[in-house]
Every structure is written in structure tokens, then in C-alpha cells.
């Protein structure tokens, strides 16, 4: 028993030390990212859609497409998004060449009610985007993401090993007890243990979802080169088609194929991230959870029929659910405030852990390890 406890103690110490500095960086950058929507809205307010009576129907999507095309008649619509534009606003992404890379896109913000162009937001180096890149990949691309994934695994192991250590400890000192009559280090140790146990469920959730998020690029690349390539195989090598089916008809076909859903975004045939023979319509559910689960629907641009509609594999479903859960995006501002409070307490746990390790190594070699 004592030998096992010492082994778990060593595991807890070294996994914690391996990831602590990275976790401090992630907690500090993650705190403002919890409020990224509010920060972006304050720093760069979007032009709002026109005020319309409640229940006013949206303009036909054909009108929105025509409005964008009339603004830039020699360009190609690459994609459309309902999620990023704000209430009653549609974002249309265009480029000078078909099948263009993302770097060649520019955006139009269009009123969903009137189909009028509201704004042409230019790409800007937003503070939150800079923070997200640091938080997500350390400005090192995929290697940075994978390194943070390893650090996340160390964090999860340190949490589990900390629980296994704390169980026997409570048999002597009592659960959650702060030993006020002991040394300063003992008091900090008790506080460290108490805060760690209080945050147990939250830190496990954030740690596991963080590890899953670091695998986003490899997982989506695996899906694109595997299952998506199989879905598009019958049209491989065929020439790019000009759509003869309206986007309204395509969306209606997708909704018939997946009742109870609505479009989140559309990749047009001109997009390098879709199919040259289809509208690739990403459908979402209409509840707080199902709205995070997207399903791609392929609608033929000549015939208007759905040629394929398959749920994403389980690993991408897990990724879709983990992204908002990682930043507390499910429950509005109250949940974000709770996430921020837990983040601050986690910073305290990390700092007390560093303090305890430093104090332990200041003590004479012969002195016992227990406080």
C-alpha cells in the first residue's frame, strides 16, 4: 500500500511538473477566450441587420446570392454561413478564382431579410484570434498542437494520480480539512488538495476536451481523405459545373432529407472545400446540443436531388461536442462566468503545486516527505 502510494506520488509530481508551465499559459490565454464573442463584438461591432416586424420572412437565398454576385460580378461565391454573421445576417465568402484557397476569400455581410449588403468586413488580426492561435498551437502549427495534446494527457494523469493520493490522505486528516495547527507548507498542501478535489470534474472535462481539440486537424484530414473522398468518388475528375438548381431548392432538399434541421453553412461547387458537382450543405439541429452536431448533405447542382447525407464519424462528433464544452459555450454568459471562475481557481492550484514542489526541495535530504 505504502509502495503504491509512493509510486502514485511520483507519477503525480512529475506529470504535474511536466505540464504546469504549459497549463498556466493555457489558463491565462483561455480566460479571455471564454468571452471571445463578447470581446469581438466590443472591439469590432458588426453592422446590424435592418429592424423588421417579428415574424418577417427571410429573403429567398437566390436574392442573397444575386446581391453578392451583383457586387462582384466577376468573382465566384465559395461559401455561405448563417452562424458567423449575427442575428438575421448571412455571411457570403467570395474569391476571384474558383477552388480558391482560404487566403483568397473576402466576406460580404448581407441582411437576411432584405438581401442588402450591410458590410464588407476585412480580415484583421483580432486579439482573440491571436490568443486562440497561441492557446491552440503555440504558433507552431500541428507540432504545437500535438505538444499541447501530450501536455493535456500529462494533466489528466496528474489529476487521476492526485485523486488516488488524496484518498488515503483523508483517512488521516479528514476530507477537505485545512490543518491550521501545522506548518505553513502543510496548510498550502491542504489548500492545494482541497481546491484540486473541488475542481476535479471540471478539470477532467477541460483536460480531456482540450486533448481532443488538439487532434482536430489530423481527424478532419483523415475524414476528408477517407470517407468524404468515397462520397465524392463517382464525380472524381468530372468538370466543374455551373449550378442550374437554386440554393433555395437545394436547402429545401437537404431539410427534407434531414427533418428538424436547418443550414449552418454551404460550400458552393466553386469551393475547394466542397464538391464541384454539389452544394455541400452543413445541417445542424435546433437544440443547444444538436446545433453543435453538423451533418454534410450533398445536393446535386444539376438535378437538385440529395446524393448523400451521412453523419460524421464518432471521433468528429466527439470533437464537435468538445469544442464548445472546452470554453463553456453551451449555457450563455452564466456558464461562461462559472468557467472563468474555475479557470482562476485552477491557476491557484497550479501555483500552489509549484510552491509545494519548491518548498519540498528546499528541505534537508533526511527530512521526511510527509507534511
What is d(CA 123, CA 121) in angstroms, rounded to the nearest whole number? 7
**What pLDDT is recorded for position 189?**
76
Is the residue at 147 inside a domain? yes
Question: What share of the chain in percent tops pLDDT 70?
Answer: 90
Q: Which residue has the cell 446570392?
A: 65
For the segment 53-74, the average pLDDT, to the nearest whole number, is 92
pLDDT-based confidence at residue 369 (cuts at 50, 70, 90): very low
Cα within 13 Å of Cα(52), Cβ side: 17
- The answer to whether residues 29 and 146 belong to one domain is yes
**What pLDDT is recorded for position 370?**
40
- The answer to whether residues 148 and 118 belong to one domain is no
**What pLDDT is recorded for position 237?**
79
Is the residue at 168 inside a domain? yes
Is the residue at 46 inside a domain? no
- The answer to whether residues 257 and 291 belong to one domain is yes
- The answer to whether residues 118 and 154 belong to one domain is no
- The answer to whether residues 142 and 189 belong to one domain is yes
Q: What is the pLDDT of residues 99-116, one digit of tens each?
A: 898 888 999 999 999 999
> Which of 301, 319, 340 finishes a domain?
301
Is the residue at 310 inside a domain? no
For the segment 273-300, the average pLDDT, to the nearest whole number, is 90
Cell numbers at residue 254, please?
Answer: 437537404
**What pLDDT is recorded for position 366?**
46
For the segment 7-17, the average pLDDT, to the nearest whole number, is 87
> Which of 251, 282, 301 finishes a domain?
301
**What pLDDT is recorded for position 290?**
84
- The answer to whether residues 34 and 173 belong to one domain is yes
- The answer to whether residues 190 and 157 belong to one domain is yes
Look at 24-28, 167-171, 187-191, 254-258 and tell me which has the smallest mean pLDDT.
Answer: 167-171
Is the residue at 49 inside a domain? no
Give the chain's mean pLDDT. 86
Is the residue at 309 inside a domain? no
Question: Per the structure, how many domains does the chain have?
Answer: 2
Q: Which residue has the cell 438575421?
A: 88
Is the residue at 187 inside a domain? yes
Cell numbers at residue 13, please?
Answer: 509530481
- The answer to whether residues 143 and 185 belong to one domain is yes
The edge-to-edge listing of strands for the beta sheet with 76-81 is 117-119, 106-111, 89-95, 76-81, 262-267, 278-284, 294-300, 306-309
Q: What is the pLDDT of residues 157-181, one digit of tens each?
A: 999 988 888 767 666 665 556 666 6
Is the residue at 71 inside a domain? yes
Looking at per-residue pLDDT, the higher value among 152 and 237 belongs to 152
Instruction: Work out the angle at residue 305's Cα, subtended by the Cα atoms of residues 302 and 307, and round it to the nearest 5 degrees.
Output: 100
Asked whether the predicted pLDDT for residue 289 surpasses 70, the reply is: yes
- The answer to whether residues 29 and 91 belong to one domain is no
- DSSP H helices, the chain, are 2-33, 36-43, 61-71, 127-137, 141-173, 184-198, 200-213, 216-223, 229-232, 247-257, 314-327, 332-360
Backbone angles phi, psi at 332, to 5 degrees: 70, -160
What is d(CA 223, CA 273) in angstroms, rounded to the nearest whole number? 13
Residue numbers of the domain that contains 146: 2-38+138-214+328-360
Look at 101-110, 212-221, 259-268, 359-368 and tell me which has the smallest mean pLDDT.
Answer: 359-368
Most confidently predicted of 53-62, 124-133, 177-186: 53-62
- The answer to whether residues 30 and 147 belong to one domain is yes
Q: Strand 262-267 vs strand 117-119: parallel, antiparallel, or unpaired? A: unpaired
Asked whether the predicted pLDDT for residue 59 surpasses 70, the reply is: yes
Burial class (CB in 10 A: 0-12, 13-18, 19+), 54: exposed
Q: Strand 262-267 vs strand 106-111: parallel, antiparallel, or unpaired? A: unpaired
What is d(CA 324, CA 284) in angstroms, rounded to the nearest whole number? 15
| DSSP β-bridge partners for residue 278 | 300
Looking at per-residue pLDDT, the higher value among 355 and 218 belongs to 218
- The answer to whether residues 143 and 287 belong to one domain is no
- The answer to whether residues 147 and 9 belong to one domain is yes
pLDDT-based confidence at residue 368 (cuts at 50, 70, 90): very low
What is d(CA 248, CA 306) in angstroms, rounded to the nearest whole number? 14
> Which of 260, 284, 301 finishes a domain?
301
Amino acid at each position: 500500500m505504502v509502495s503504491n502510494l509512493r509510486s502514485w506520488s511520483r507519477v503525480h509530481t512529475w506529470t504535474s511538473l511536466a505540464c504546469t508551465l504549459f497549463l498556466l499559459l493555457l489558463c491565462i490565454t483561455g480566460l479571455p477566450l471564454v468571452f471571445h464573442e463578447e470581446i469581438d463584438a466590443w472591439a469590432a461591432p458588426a453592422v446590424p441587420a435592418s429592424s423588421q416586424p417579428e415574424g418577417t420572412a427571410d429573403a429567398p437565398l437566390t436574392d442573397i446570392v444575386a446581391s453578392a454576385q451583383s457586387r462582384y460580378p466577376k468573382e465566384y461565391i465559395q461559401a455561405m454561413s448563417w452562424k458567423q454573421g449575427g442575428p438575421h445576417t448571412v455571411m457570403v465568402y467570395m474569391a476571384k478564382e474558383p477552388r480558391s484557397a482560404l487566403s483568397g476569400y473576402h466576406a460580404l455581410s448581407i441582411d437576411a431579410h432584405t438581401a442588402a449588403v450591410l458590410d464588407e468586413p476585412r480580415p484583421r488580426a483580432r486579439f482573440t484570434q491571436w490568443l486562440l492561435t497561441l492557446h491552440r498551437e503555440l504558433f507552431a502549427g500541428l507540432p504545437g498542437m500535438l505538444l499541447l495534446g501530450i501536455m493535456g494527457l500529462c494533466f489528466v494523469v496528474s489529476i487521476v494520480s492526485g485523486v488516488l493520493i488524496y484518498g488515503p490522505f483523508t483517512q488521516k486528516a479528514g476530507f477537505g480539512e485545512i490543518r491550521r495547527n501545522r506548518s505553513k507548507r502543510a496548510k498550502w498542501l491542504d489548500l492545494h488538495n482541497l481546491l484540486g478535489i473541488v475542481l476535479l470534474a471540471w478539470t477532467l472535462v477541460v483536460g480531456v476536451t482540450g486533448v481532443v481539440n488538439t487532434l482536430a486537424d489530423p481527424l478532419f484530414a483523415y475524414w476528408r481523405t477517407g470517407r468524404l473522398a468515397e462520397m465524392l468518388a463517382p464525380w472524381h475528375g468530372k468538370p466543374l459545373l455551373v449550378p442550374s438548381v437554386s440554393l433555395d431548392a437545394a436547402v429545401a432538399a437537404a431539410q427534407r432529407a434531414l427533418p428538424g434541421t436547418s443550414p449552418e453553412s454551404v460550400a458552393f461547387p466553386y469551393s475547394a472545400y466542397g464538391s464541384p458537382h454539389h452544394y455541400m450543405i452543413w445541417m445542424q439541429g435546433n437544440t443547444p446540443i444538436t446545433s453543435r452536431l453538423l451533418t454534410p448533405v450533398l445536393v446535386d447542382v444539376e438535378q437538385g436531388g440529395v446524393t448523400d447525407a451521412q453523419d460524421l464519424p464518432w471521433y468528429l462528433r466527439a470533437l464537435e461536442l468538445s469544442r464548445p464544452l472546452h470554453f463553456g459555450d453551451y449555457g450563455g454568459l452564466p456558464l461562461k462566468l462559472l468557467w472563468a471562475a474555475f479557470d482562476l481557481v485552477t491557476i491557484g492550484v497550479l501555483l500552489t503545486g509549484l510552491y509545494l514542489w519548491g518548498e519540498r526541495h528546499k528541505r534537508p535530504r533526511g527530512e521526511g516527505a510527509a507534511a
